[in-house]
Structure formats: C-alpha cells, structure tokens
Amino acid sequence: MARFEGRFSDASDLRIAVVVARFNDLITGKLLSGCLDCLSRHGIDTSETSSQLDIAWVPGSFELPLLAQTLAESERYEVVITLGAVIRGDTPHFDVVVAEASKGIATAARESGVPVIFGVLTTDTMQQALERAGIKSNLGWSYAMQALEMGSLMRALPG
Ligand code: INI
C-alpha cells in the first residue's frame, strides 16, 4: 500500500506564488502578513530578493483566477496561494464575485495541475473578516500551511 501525504519538513525549498486582491486591502494585507509569517517560519525565503517566492496584486477577488492560472501554468511555481476578501455587506454582487472566484480558482488548479489554494474570506460583515484576518486568528497562516502541505504532497506523488 502506498500512502501519500505532505511533509512540512520537506517544503522549505518550494517555489511559491501568492496572488493578493487589493479590494478590502485592510483584510487582504493582514492575510498576506499571516501567510508570509507562516512561510518564513517554515524556512521559505520571504525577503525582497527571494528567488523562491513571488507576490502578484490584482484589483479584486474576481481577478484572482486569471492570475492564479497564468502563474500556475508558467511552470515557475509548485503551488499558488490566492488571498481575497469578499464581504456581503459591501456588495450586491457578493454571490457573483464569490462564485467566479471559487470556480475559477478550482479550474486553475485542475487545468494547470498545480495546487491553487483558495484563500478567499467570504463573510457577512467587516467585523467577521477582521476576526479571521488577525483579531482572533489569521487564516493567512492556515492558507500558507495548506500550500506547504499540497506543494510537498504533489512532490511525493509518483511520476
Ligand atoms: N472584490 C473583492 O475582492 N471583494 C469584494 O467584497 C468586492 N465587492 O464588494 O464588490 C470586490 N469587487 C471587485 C471585483 O472583485 C472586481 O475587482 C471588479 O468587479 C472588477 O472586475
């Protein structure tokens, strides 16, 4: 029997892209900080001169899939992390933005064969978003952990 799983101890040389939405950057900036803190503490070089980590900014969560898929298909990265925040109170087209972001991110992963982490907070209020982006916990940290797990899992697969 083969057993495949990600190993965080094998993840420190992963090549990673992070795509961040500027919309609600009060929240997405905090998610990015938590994400980079986690990556750094797992041995990833997160400095400005890093050759293993790149960060791309897009206007909003709706644009995350295009960048995620383009970067995933570039063969430069082993995992892509998307970060966004869609807040129901802010937008009458909440459902449209969330649906396009989630479908598009899933498609980017499947079509490229590169894991793309869905780091888009979807909340009813700004308060809930703040709680998930640093006041209570920072889900940016969790998205980074999921990226390390998926990146190293893909390496562990045969072929
Ligand atoms: N983008 C977000 O990331 N979060 C939101 O809450 C949001 N609201 O409220 O509309 C949002 N809209 C912008 C959208 O993602 C696109 O950038 C825009 O429609 C241009 O394509």
Using CA atoms, how far apart are residues 94 and 82, in angstroms rounded to an integer?
Answer: 18
Residue of minimum CA distance from atom 7 in ligand 1: 86
Could you write out the DSSP letters of every residue in 94-121?
A: HHHHHHHHHHHHHHHHHHHSS-EEEEEE
Report domain extents, the chain. Answer: 27-125+138-152
Which atom, in ligand 1's list, is nearest to the CA of 28? 3
**42 has catalytic annotation:** no
Please give the model's pTM, rounded to 2 decimal places. 0.97
Residue of minimum CA distance from atom 17 in ligand 1: 60
Name the pLDDT band for 85 (thresholds 50, 70, 90): very high
60 lines ligand 1 (CB under 6 A): yes
- pLDDT of residue 91 exceeding 80, the answer is no
Q: Average pLDDT in the 36-50 region?
A: 97
90 lines ligand 1 (CB under 6 A): yes
Mutational test site, ligand 1, from 19, 61, 118, max ligand atoms within 8 Å of CB: 61
The domain over range 27-125+138-152 is classified in CATH as 3.40.50.12780: no
Q: What is the pLDDT of residue 2?
A: 92
pLDDT in tens, 47-75: 999 999 999 999 999 999 999 999 999 99
- Which residues, including other chains, have CB under 8 Å from residue 122's CB and lie 6 or more apart? 86, 88, 94, 98
pLDDT in tens, 22-37: 999 999 999 999 999 9
Q: What is the pLDDT of residue 93?
A: 86
Using CA atoms, how far apart are residues 128 and 55, in angstroms rounded to an integer?
Answer: 25
- pLDDT of residue 97 exceeding 70, the answer is yes
More reliable by pLDDT, 92 or 114: 114
Determine which one of 41, 76, 93, 136 is catalytic: 93
| CB neighbourhood size of 65 (10 A) | 23
More reliable by pLDDT, 107 or 135: 107
- pLDDT of residue 90 exceeding 70, the answer is no
Distance 96 CA to ligand 1 centre (A): 9
Using CA atoms, how far apart are residues 24 and 134, in angstroms rounded to an integer?
Answer: 14
Q: Average pLDDT in the 106-122 region?
A: 98
123 lines ligand 1 (CB under 6 A): no
86 lines ligand 1 (CB under 6 A): yes
